[in-house]
C-alpha cells in the first residue's frame, strides 16, 4: 500500500499545473470545480448558480454563488461562502444562504453585484428557503424542538434548550423511539419545521410563524431534504408541503403525504393525500391555481418504487397520472411558462436525460439525451441544464424548449482539463438473467493500444436500485482507474434504474440471484467483445450494495478475481436488519422484519459462505456511516483475518457512507489503486 498522501498544497498545484498531457487521476478529481443549482432569472437572460471549489489546505469544499449571462460570457462571483441561489421575482436581486457567526442566514445581493444584505438574524440555522411569488414573504426551514413550536418565539425557545451550561457534566441521551440516529447524525429531539415570515420595508425578515406546528415530522425531510418539498401557490395565499408523520414507526415508513396550509397560518394544515400509504412529494402548483402536480409512489415501504407524475384538481380532489405509459421514474419537476409541459430528468438506458412531458397527452419526449442532467430550470423560451458525462464535469448549457441547439455557457474546469487525457467509454448490451437485455459499459485505459491487454477494475454499483450511467462521479469515477492503466467494466444488473420498473423490482428478495447471474454473463460478454481485457488480471470492487455483492462474490463467484474491494458493504444481512437506521429498506428487500421473515435474510447472507472465501480483500469503512454501520466492516475484516486471507482495513473516523474530505478522497483512491496494482501485477 502507498503511504498516506500528504503532499504540500504547492506540490500538488505544481503536479496539476504541468503542461505535458498526462492521464487523469484522483488528485485532479478532488480539485475540480463543481457547478450546481442553476436558476434562470425571471426574464431568462441570466443564470444564478452555485459553485463548489476545493480548499486543499483546509481539506474541505468552499461554496459560492455566481451569475452568468444565458448568452454566455464571463461568470460573476456574487458571494463566497454561499449556497442555494434564488432570484427575486423582479430579477433585481439574488437571495442565498450564508453563515454569519457560524449560523446559516438568508441574504440578498444585487444581481449585478454589490454589497450583500443580511435578511435574517436568527439564533438558529436557516436550512432552506423559498420566496413568495410577489417577493414579499419567505418560506424557510429551521430545526426546532416540537414543544417549542407553540411558544411565542419558537426559535428562542429552541436556542435556550440547546445552550447547556458550560460546566454540565452529564452527557447521556435518553430515547424512547426510532430514529435515534440517521445517516451520520444522532437525533437530539429537534424537527425540521416550515416557517413563513414577511419581508419588511427595511428588507429584514419579520416575526416568523410555524406552518407545520403540530405535525410530528420533518419539513423538509432529513437527511437530504430541500426547498423542492414545499411551495407557495401562484397567488401566494396557500403553502403546499410534504411530510412523513409516522410517529414511532418512522424508521420503517415511506409514507410521505402532501399537505396544504394557509400562508398566513390562519388554520391548521390539511392532508391532501391521506389515502395513499406510500410516498407523495415534490409539490408544484400550476400558475392558474387549479392543479397541484406532484410525484407519487404506489407501494408503501419501497423507497425505489417508480415516481409517477400526478395531477390533483384542487377544487374537486380528483387526481390522475399524467404519463402512465412512461415507464421511468421522475425526479424534480418544473412547469413550462404556458402550463402545458412538465420537465423532469430520469435514468434512461445508461444516460440521465431531461424529458418534456406533455400534460394533456402524457407523451414523454427526450430532450437533452447524452450524459447526465443533474440540475435544470425552465424559462419562457429556453432551458438551462447542468450537464456532465464520462469525460466532462458539470457545466451549464442552454437549449430551446425542444432540446435543440444545446450550447455550453460555463467552462469552469477548462484550464485544468486541457492537458489531461481520458479513456474512451462504450456501452454494450448482452443477454442476462432470464434472457433479458442488460446493459454495461467499458472504459479503455488512457494510452490504449489495440495490441495489448490490460488489467480490469470490475465496478459494481450500489443502491442497489441505482445505475452506473454516463456521468462524472466524484466517488466512483471510472476515469481514475483508466488513468492508472486499468480498463473498467461495469454492469447495470437486474435492480438497476433506467430500464423500466419491472427490471428495478427484480432485485428485491433476490440480492444474490439474478444480479449475480447478470454480473457473470456480463463479464463473459465483455471478455468476448473486448479482447484487450485481461481475464487473468481483474479485481471486483464496489460500495454499499456493491460492497455487499463483493462479500457475496467472495463466497459464491471468486474464481475470476485476483482481488476484491469492499467499501461500506453488508456482511451479515440479518444483523443489518437490526443495525441500519432506515428499516423500511431492509424490510422491503428481505420480505419483512428479521423476526417475521428470517429466511429472507438468510437466503443471500454473505456470512454463511465465509468458509469459501479465498481472494484478498481491501475493506473500507466510515465510522460515521449509520446506513451500513462499522460493525459490518469490522466483521468482514475479522472474517478475512481469521481465515488467513491477505486483507487490509481502511477506516475513516470522520466520514459517513461517502468519503467527502479532499485528502481522504485522495487517500481512498491511492489505497484502492495500490491494492489493485499489488494483486494484478500492474
Question: What's the sign of the alpha-carbon dihedral 298, 301, 307, 310?
Answer: positive
Q: What value does the mean pLDDT take over residues 343-355?
A: 98
pLDDT at 473 over 80: yes
Question: Beta strand pairing status for 487-492 and 454-460?
Answer: parallel
657 catalytic residue (yes or no): yes
Of 42, 109, 105, the residue nearest 78 (C-alpha)? 109
End-to-end CA distance of the chain: 13
Based on the fold, state whether residues 185 and 237 are members of the same structural domain: yes
pLDDT digits (tens, 9 = 90+) for 121-133: 999 999 999 999 9
pLDDT digits (tens, 9 = 90+) for 45-61: 999 999 999 999 999 99
Residues 6+ apart with CB under 8 A from 375: 36, 37, 38, 385, 386
Of 194, 187, 240, the residue nearest 213 (C-alpha)? 194
Of 404, 396, 392, the residue nearest 368 (C-alpha)? 404
Dist CA 472 CA 29 (whole Å): 10
Please identify, among 412, 440, 467, the residue that sits at the C-terminal boundary of a domain: 412
Q: What value does the mean pLDDT take over residues 657-670?
A: 98
pLDDT at 7 over 50: no
What pLDDT is recorded for position 360? 98
Based on the fold, state whether residues 262 and 212 are members of the same structural domain: yes
- What one-character-per-residue DSSP string does 50-102 give? EEEEEETTTTEEEEEEEEEETT----EEEEET-EEEEE-TTSSEEEEEEEETT
pLDDT at 481 over 70: yes
What pLDDT is recorded for position 19? 57
Our separate counts of H helices and E strands in the chain read 13, 40
267-297 in b/e form (b: 16+ CB < 10 A) is eebeebbeebbbbbbbbbbbeeeebbbbbbb
CATH of the domain at 356: 2.40.10
Torsion region of 619: left, alpha or beta (phi above 0 gives left; psi -120 to 50 gives alpha): beta
Please identify, among 354, 388, 412, the residue that sits at the C-terminal boundary of a domain: 412
pLDDT digits (tens, 9 = 90+) for 270-294: 999 999 999 999 999 999 999 999 9
pLDDT band, very low/low/confident/very high, at 164 (cuts 50, 70, 90): confident
User: 169 lies in a domain?
Assistant: no
Q: Which residue has the cell 481539506?
A: 59
Q: What value does the mean pLDDT take over residues 458-472?
A: 98
353-392 in b/e form (b: 16+ CB < 10 A) is bbbbbebeeeebeebbbebbbbbbbbbeebbbbbbbbbbb
Q: Choose, from 182, 494, 657, 669, the residue flagged as catalytic.
A: 657
User: 133 lies in a domain?
Assistant: yes
What pLDDT is recorded for position 165? 81
Please identify, among 272, 295, 321, the residue that sits at the C-terminal boundary of a domain: 321
User: 218 lies in a domain?
Assistant: yes
Residue 354 CA: distances (Å) to CA of 229, 332, 580: 20, 10, 34
Dist CA 263 CA 132 (whole Å): 10
Residues 6+ apart with CB under 8 A from 681: 455, 537
User: 204 lies in a domain?
Assistant: yes
Dist CA 120 CA 388 (whole Å): 35
pLDDT at 14 over 80: no
pLDDT at 30 over 70: yes
User: 440 lies in a domain?
Assistant: yes
Based on the fold, state whether residues 373 and 235 are members of the same structural domain: no
Residues 6+ apart with CB under 8 A from 269: 211, 212, 214, 215, 241, 259, 260, 261
Based on the fold, state whether residues 672 and 535 are members of the same structural domain: yes
Q: Give phi and psi for 490, each to the nearest 5.
A: -140, 150
Q: What value does the mean pLDDT take over residues 256-271?
A: 97
Residue 88 CA: distances (Å) to CA of 35, 71, 130, 134, 137: 21, 20, 10, 9, 11
Contact of 618 with 633, CB cutoff 8 Å: no
Based on the fold, state whether residues 307 and 185 are members of the same structural domain: yes
CATH of the domain at 244: 2.130.10.10
Gyration radius from the chain CA atoms = 25
Domain count, the chain: 4
Q: What value does the mean pLDDT take over residues 519-529?
A: 98
- Judged by DSSP in three states, 127 sits in coil
Enclosing domain of residue 404: 336-412
Based on the fold, state whether residues 489 and 613 are members of the same structural domain: yes
pLDDT at 69 over 50: yes
- Per cent of the chain over pLDDT 70 is 97
Q: What value does the mean pLDDT take over residues 11-17?
A: 42
Based on the fold, state whether residues 401 and 443 are members of the same structural domain: no
Based on the fold, state whether residues 552 and 527 are members of the same structural domain: yes
User: 453 lies in a domain?
Assistant: yes
What pLDDT is recorded for position 584? 98
pLDDT digits (tens, 9 = 90+) for 535-582: 999 999 999 999 999 999 999 999 999 999 999 999 999 999 999 999
Residues 6+ apart with CB under 8 A from 576: 570, 586, 601, 628, 632
The mean of the pLDDT values for the chain is 95
Contact of 48 with 502, CB cutoff 8 Å: no
Q: Which residue has the cell 463483493?
A: 550
User: 327 lies in a domain?
Assistant: no
Q: What value does the mean pLDDT take over residues 327-351?
A: 98
Dist CA 450 CA 228 (whole Å): 48
- Grid cell of 48 as nine digits: 444564478
Dist CA 478 CA 422 (whole Å): 10
Contact of 230 with 218, CB cutoff 8 Å: no
- Grid cell of 466 as nine digits: 441505482
User: 330 lies in a domain?
Assistant: no
- Judged by DSSP in three states, 230 sits in strand
Of 442, 445, 438, 444, the residue nearest 427 (C-alpha)? 442
If 0-12 CB within 10 Å is exposed, 13-18 middle and 19+ buried, where does residue 163 land?
A: exposed
Dist CA 191 CA 187 (whole Å): 9
508 catalytic residue (yes or no): no
- Grid cell of 138 as nine digits: 419567505
pLDDT digits (tens, 9 = 90+) for 578-625: 999 999 999 999 999 999 999 999 999 999 999 999 999 999 999 999
Tell me the angle at which helices 514-529 and 545-556 cross, rounded to the nearest 10 degrees: 80
What pLDDT is recorded for position 3? 33
Based on the fold, state whether residues 350 and 439 are members of the same structural domain: no
Dist CA 287 CA 133 (whole Å): 10
DSSP 8-state assignment for residue 199:
B
What pLDDT is recorded for position 12? 40
- What one-character-per-residue DSSP string does 478-526 give? HHHHHTTT-EEEEEE-TT-SSS-HHHHHTTTT-TTSHHHHHHHHHHHHH
CATH of the domain at 575: 3.40.50.1820
Based on the fold, state whether residues 271 and 374 are members of the same structural domain: no
Q: Which residue has the cell 445517516?
A: 183
Dist CA 520 CA 431 (whole Å): 11
- Per cent of the chain over pLDDT 90 is 95
For residue 537, say if its preceding peptide bond is cis, omega within 30 degrees of 0: no
Contact of 551 with 453, CB cutoff 8 Å: no
- Grid cell of 201 as nine digits: 420595508
What is the reported pTM? 0.95
Q: What value does the mean pLDDT take over residues 31-47?
A: 98
> Which residues, in sequence order, are bridge partners of residue 40?
47
Based on the fold, state whether residues 598 and 555 are members of the same structural domain: yes
Q: What value does the mean pLDDT take over residues 461-480?
A: 97
Q: Choose, from 242, 544, 647, 665, the residue flagged as catalytic.
A: 544
Q: What value does the mean pLDDT take over residues 348-375?
A: 97
pLDDT digits (tens, 9 = 90+) for 102-111: 999 999 999 9
596 catalytic residue (yes or no): no
Dist CA 64 CA 190 (whole Å): 28
pLDDT at 440 over 50: yes
pLDDT digits (tens, 9 = 90+) for 85-95: 999 999 999 99
Of 347, 397, 350, the residue nearest 376 (C-alpha)? 397
- Grid cell of 519 as nine digits: 454480473
Q: Give phi and psi for 153, each to the nearest 5.
A: -130, 85
Based on the fold, state whether residues 155 and 124 are members of the same structural domain: yes
Please give the torsion angle defined by the CA atoms of residues 216, 220, 223 and 224, in that order, rounded to the nearest 10 degrees.
Answer: 160
Amino acid at each position: 500500500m502507498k503511504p498516506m498522501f500528504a503532499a504540500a498544497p504547492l506540490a500538488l498545484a505544481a503536479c496539476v499545473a504541468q503542461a505535458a498531457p498526462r492521464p487523469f487521476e484522483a488528485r485532479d478529481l478532488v480539485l475540480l470545480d463543481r457547478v450546481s443549482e442553476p436558476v434562470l432569472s425571471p426574464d431568462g437572460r441570466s443564470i444564478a448558480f452555485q459553485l463548489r471549489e476545493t480548499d486543499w489546505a483546509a481539506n474541505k469544499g468552499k461554496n459560492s454563488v455566481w451569475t452568468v449571462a444565458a448568452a454566455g460570457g464571463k461568470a460573476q462571483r456574487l458571494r463566497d461562502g454561499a449556497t442555494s441561489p434564488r432570484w427575486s421575482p423582479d430579477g433585481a436581486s439574488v437571495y442565498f444562504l450564508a453563515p454569519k457567526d457560524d449560523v446559516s442566514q438568508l441574504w440578498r445581493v444585487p444581481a449585478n453585484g454589490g454589497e450583500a444584505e443580511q435578511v435574517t438574524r436568527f439564533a438558529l440555522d436557516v436550512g432552506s428557503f423559498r420566496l413568495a411569488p410577489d417577493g414579499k414573504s419567505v418560506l424557510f426551514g429551521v430545526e426546532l424542538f416540537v414543544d417549542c413550536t407553540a411558544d411565542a418565539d419558537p426559535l428562542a425557545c429552541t436556542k435556550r434548550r440547546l445552550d447547556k451550561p458550560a460546566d454540565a457534566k452529564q452527557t447521556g441521551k435518553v430515547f424512547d423511539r426510532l430514529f435515534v440516529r440517521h445517516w451520520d447524525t444522532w437525533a437530539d429531539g429537534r424537527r425540521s419545521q416550515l416557517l413563513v415570515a414577511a419581508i419588511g420595508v427595511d428588507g429584514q425578515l419579520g416575526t416568523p410563524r410555524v406552518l407545520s406546528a403540530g405535525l410530528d415530522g420533518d419539513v423538509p425531510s432529513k437527511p437530504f431534504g430541500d426547498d423542492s418539498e414545499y411551495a407557495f401557490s401562484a397567488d401566494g395565499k396557500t403553502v403546499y408541503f410534504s411530510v412523513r408523520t409516522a410517529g414511532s414507526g418512522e424508521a420503517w415508513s415511506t409514507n410521505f403525504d402532501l399537505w396544504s396550509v394557509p400562508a398566513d397560518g390562519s388554520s391548521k394544515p390539511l392532508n391532501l393525500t391521506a389515502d395513499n400509504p406510500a410516498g407523495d412529494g415534490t409539490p408544484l402548483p400550476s400558475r392558474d391555481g387549479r392543479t397541484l402536480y406532484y410525484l407519487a409512489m404506489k407501494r408503501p415501504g419501497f423507497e425505489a418504487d417508480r415516481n409517477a407524475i400526478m395531477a390533483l384538481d384542487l377544487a374537486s380532489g380528483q387526481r390522475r397520472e399524467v404519463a402512465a405509459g412512461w415507464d421511468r421514474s421522475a425526479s424534480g419537476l418544473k412547469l413550462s411558462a404556458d402550463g402545458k409541459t412538465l420537465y423532469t430528468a430520469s435514468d434512461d438506458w445508461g444516460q440521465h436525460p431531461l424529458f418534456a412531458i406533455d400534460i394533456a397527452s402524457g407523451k414523454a419526449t427526450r430532450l437533452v439525451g447524452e450524459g447526465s442532467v443533474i440540475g435544470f430550470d425552465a424559462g419562457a423560451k429556453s432551458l438551462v441544464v447542468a450537464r456532465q458525462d464520462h469525460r466532462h464535469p458539470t457545466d451549464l448549457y442552454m437549449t430551446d424548449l425542444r432540446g435543440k441547439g444545446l450550447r455550453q455557457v460555463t467552462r469552469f474546469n477548462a484550464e485544468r482539463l486541457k492537458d489531461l487525457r481520458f479513456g474512451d467509454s462504450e456501452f454494450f448490451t448482452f443477454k442476462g438473467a432470464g434472457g433479458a437485455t442488460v446493459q454495461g459499459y467499458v472504459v479503455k485505459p488512457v494510452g490504449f493500444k489495440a495490441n495489448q491487454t490490460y488489467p480490469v477494475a470490475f465496478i459494481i454499483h450500489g443502491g442497489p436500485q441505482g445505475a452506473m450511467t454516463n456521468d462524472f462521479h466524484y466517488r466512483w469515477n471510472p476515469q481514475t482507474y483508466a488513468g492508472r492503466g486499468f480498463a473498467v467494466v461495469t454492469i447495470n444488473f437486474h435492480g438497476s434504474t433506467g430500464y423500466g420498473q419491472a427490471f428495478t423490482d427484480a432485485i428485491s428478495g433476490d440480492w444474490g440471484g439474478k444480479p449475480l447471474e447478470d454480473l457473470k454473463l456480463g463479464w463473459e460478454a465483455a471478455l468476448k467483445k473486448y479482447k484487450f481485457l485481461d481475464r487473468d488480471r481483474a479485481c471486483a470492487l464496489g460500495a454499499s450494495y456493491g460492497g455487499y455483492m463483493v462479500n457475496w462474490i467472495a463466497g459464491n463467484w471468486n474464481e475470476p478475481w485476483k482481488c476484491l474491494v469492499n467499501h461500506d458493504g453488508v456482511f451479515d444481512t440479518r444483523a443489518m436488519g437490526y443495525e441500519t437506521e432506515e428499516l423500511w429498506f431492509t424490510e422491503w428487500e428481505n420480505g419483512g422484519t428479521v423476526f417475521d421473515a428470517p429466511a429472507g435474510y438468510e437466503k443471500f447472507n454473505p456470512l454463511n459462505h465465509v468458509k469459501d472465501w479465498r481472494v484478498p480483500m481491501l475493506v473500507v469503512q466510515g465510522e460515521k456511516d449509520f446506513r451500513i454501520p462499522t460493525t459490518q466492516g469490522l466483521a468482514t475484516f475479522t472474517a478475512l483475518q481469521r481465515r488467513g486471507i491477505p486483507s487490509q482495513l481502511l477506516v475513516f473516523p470522520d466520514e459517513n457512507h461517502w468519503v467527502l474530505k479532499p485528502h481522504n478522497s485522495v487517500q481512498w483512491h491511492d489505497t484502492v489503486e495500490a491494492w489493485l496494482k499489488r494483486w494484478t501485477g500492474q
